[in-house]
């Protein structure tokens, strides 16, 4: 009997499980899943698709010119660097009655954006050039026949009207200026192709940040509450107030009063990394530096604000070096129009401030 009473007393000391407490379930195995296959980092890049395909009677460029035209507006530093070079080249062009500055500026813009520029010579009956017009590079293609160029049918400003295959320009009427390319010699490629990923990353970071503020929710946290509130309607009221803070009028302060709550009874758990706001500035700065390095433009020439007290140095000296290393070589390349026209049409003035005030020292042994 004593043994039996002892067992009964022990059973009474065991606490009864609450009715609403979840019973322990059968242990399950760990579930592992991925968000996608591994992406190789050393292949399948933009340059793997460089090729010149034949379409009807002309060749397509190795890189999408429609994509390069859209990329011009993705990064402010990318567009500003190209605009700076175009403005300097147009500024120092000597006036000529056969080439208007507006036509030259458009051709230079094409050359710096696509690595190709096309100038059409308007000739008289004797074959002499009356004037030179810009043929938009985005809608001009190199023909399969020598010295034949084609005007694409999707140009909304086409003077030839609609044609399913485009219209050829008159023979020997197009001057094609192109940058060098190591993969092919039909079209040129711009120098900034290596910075396209940085320009697109800059745009993606800006768009993500803009949508982050526009949506109002910021998709950023989980509100975890394990304290019993005073009323059953407190949770519903809290949900309503959080829903009202979405969209216009967001960033409102929210007060939650729980007199008997514990220290960790209410927790705000971020689903993303809290330091992501600092990554935005880092991405913007790194992508900006990559773009400027590809264009070889000093930062003080396109309006960047220095982050240190020392600044970027003298803007006059940077402009002088930039003119000698970048603008002068571009001027020599654009003067190939003179060989095609057999006339000195493209000539540039040399500003006095761009000349080196002191001659370079003689480093050769005497």
pLDDT (tens digit per residue) in 205-258 = 888 888 776 765 555 677 777 776 656 677 778 777 777 766 555 556 677 767
Segment 119-142 mean pLDDT: 91
Position 160 scores a pLDDT of 52
3-class state of residue 362 by DSSP: coil
Claim: this prediction has a pTM higher than 0.85: no
Position 189 scores a pLDDT of 93
Position 272 scores a pLDDT of 53
Cβ–Cβ < 8 Å for 79, 72: yes
Would you say residue 56 has pLDDT above 70?
Answer: yes
Segment 11-18 mean pLDDT: 54
pLDDT digit string, tens, across residues 348-360: 998 888 765 555 4
Cβ neighbours, 10 Å, residue 109? 21
Kindly state the percentage of the chain with pLDDT values over 90.
38
Would you say residue 26 has pLDDT above 60?
Answer: no
Would you say residue 291 has pLDDT above 70?
Answer: yes
What distance in Å separates the CA atoms of residue 228 and residue 260, rounded to the nearest whole number?
8
Would you say residue 61 has pLDDT above 80?
Answer: yes
> Across all residues in the chain, what is the average pLDDT?
79
Position 362 scores a pLDDT of 53
Position 44 scores a pLDDT of 52
DSSP H helices, 62-180, are: 65-71, 76-91, 101-114
Query: Dihedral sign, CA of 226, 228, 232, 238?
Result: negative
Q: Which of 38-52, 59-73, 148-162, 345-359 has the largest mean confidence?
A: 59-73
Locate tokens 């989980």: which residue? 222
pLDDT digit string, tens, across residues 63-121: 889 999 999 988 889 999 999 999 999 999 999 999 999 999 999 999 999 999 999 99
Cβ–Cβ < 8 Å for 220, 270: yes
Would you say residue 169 has pLDDT above 50?
Answer: yes
Cβ neighbours, 10 Å, residue 99? 22
Segment 179-189 mean pLDDT: 90
Position 274 scores a pLDDT of 46
Distances (CA, A) of 124 to 99, 128, 131, 132, 336: 16, 6, 10, 12, 22
What distance in Å separates the CA atoms of residue 346 and residue 90, rounded to the nearest whole number?
11
- Using 50, 70 and 90 to split pLDDT, how confident is the model at 300? confident
Cβ–Cβ < 8 Å for 268, 221: yes
- Using 50, 70 and 90 to split pLDDT, how confident is the model at 34? low
Maximum Cα–Cα distance across the chain: 133
Contacts of 320 (CB under 8 A, 6+ apart): 353, 354, 356
Position 275 scores a pLDDT of 47
Segment 282-296 mean pLDDT: 91
Would you say residue 296 has pLDDT above 60?
Answer: yes
What distance in Å separates the CA atoms of residue 24 and residue 277, rounded to the nearest whole number?
41
Segment 264-270 mean pLDDT: 72
Segment 334-342 mean pLDDT: 94
Segment 338-357 mean pLDDT: 86
């Amino acid at each position: 009997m004593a043994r039996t009473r002892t067992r009964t007393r022990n059973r009474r000391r065991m606490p009864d499980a609450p009715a609403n407490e979840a019973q322990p379930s059968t242990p399950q195995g760990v579930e592992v899943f991925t968000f996608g296959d591994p992406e190789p980092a050393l292949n399948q890049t933009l340059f793997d698709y460089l090729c010149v395909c034949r379409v009807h009677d002309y060749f397509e460029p190795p890189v999408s010119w429609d994509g390069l035209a859209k990329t011009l507006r993705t990064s402010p530093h990318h567009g500003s660097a190209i605009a700076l070079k175009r403005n300097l080249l147009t500024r120092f062009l000597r006036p000529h009655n056969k080439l208007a500055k507006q036509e030259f500026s458009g051709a230079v813009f094409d050359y710096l954006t696509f690595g190709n520029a096309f100038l059409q010579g308007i000739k008289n009956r004797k074959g002499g050039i009356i004037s030179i017009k810009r043929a938009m590079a985005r809608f001009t293609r190199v023909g399969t026949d020598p010295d034949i160029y084609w005007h694409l049918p999707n140009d909304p400003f086409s003077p030839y009207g609609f044609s399913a295959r485009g219209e050829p320009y008159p023979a020997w009427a197009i001057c094609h200026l192109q940058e060098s390319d190591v993969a092919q010699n039909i079209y040129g490629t711009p120098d900034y192709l290596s910075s396209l990923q940085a320009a697109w990353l800059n745009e993606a970071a800006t768009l993500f940040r803009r949508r982050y503020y526009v949506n109002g929710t910021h998709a950023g946290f989980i509100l975890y509450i394990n304290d019993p509130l005073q009323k059953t309607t407190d949770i519903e009221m809290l949900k309503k107030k959080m829903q009202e803070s979405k969209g216009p009028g967001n960033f409102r302060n929210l007060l939650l009063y729980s007199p008997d709550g514990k220290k960790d009874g209410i927790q705000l758990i971020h689903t993303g990394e809290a330091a992501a706001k600092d990554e935005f500035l880092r991405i913007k700065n790194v992508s900006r530096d990559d773009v400027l390095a590809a264009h070889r433009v000093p930062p003080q020439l396109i309006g960047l604000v220095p982050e240190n007290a020392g600044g970027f140095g003298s803007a006059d000296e940077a402009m002088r070096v930039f003119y000698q290393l970048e603008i002068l070589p571009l001027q020599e390349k654009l003067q190939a129009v003179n060989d095609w026209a057999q006339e000195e049409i493209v000539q540039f003035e040399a500003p006095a401030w761009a000349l080196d005030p002191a001659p370079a020292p003689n480093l050769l042994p005497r």
